[in-house]
Amino acid sequence: MGLPSTRRHLIELLHINKLTYEQVAKYSGIDVERIKAIKKGQEATDEEKIKLKTVAWSLSDLRSKDTGETMD
C-alpha cells in the first residue's frame, strides 16, 4: 500500500525540493500547523489537496526544465 497522493506531494516538497514547512505554507496558502498535521497523517481537505498538488507540480516542472529530472 502506497502513500496517499497528498502526502506524497508534501514529502516531495519537503525532501526533494528541500523546502521548509514555512515555505510550503507560503507557496500553498495553507497554515503551517495544518501542513504538519497532514504530514503526520491527517486527511487533507479537497482544497488543501489541490493547493499542495499545484505547488508540487509547478516546482517539479521547474526542476525538470533545469535538470532534466521528472516526477515519477
d(CA 9, CA 52): 7
d(CA 7, CA 66): 25
- pLDDT at position 36 is 93
Band (59; pLDDT cuts 50, 70, 90): confident
Q: At what angle are helices 32-39 and 21-28 packed, to 10 degrees? A: 110
- pLDDT at position 16 is 84
Whole-structure pTM value: 0.76
Band (33; pLDDT cuts 50, 70, 90): very high
d(CA 18, CA 59): 11
pLDDT above 70 covers a percentage of the chain that reads 81
Residue 30 has pLDDT above 90, yes or no: yes
Q: Which one-letter DSSP state was computed for residue 25?
A: H
The count of residues in the chain is 72
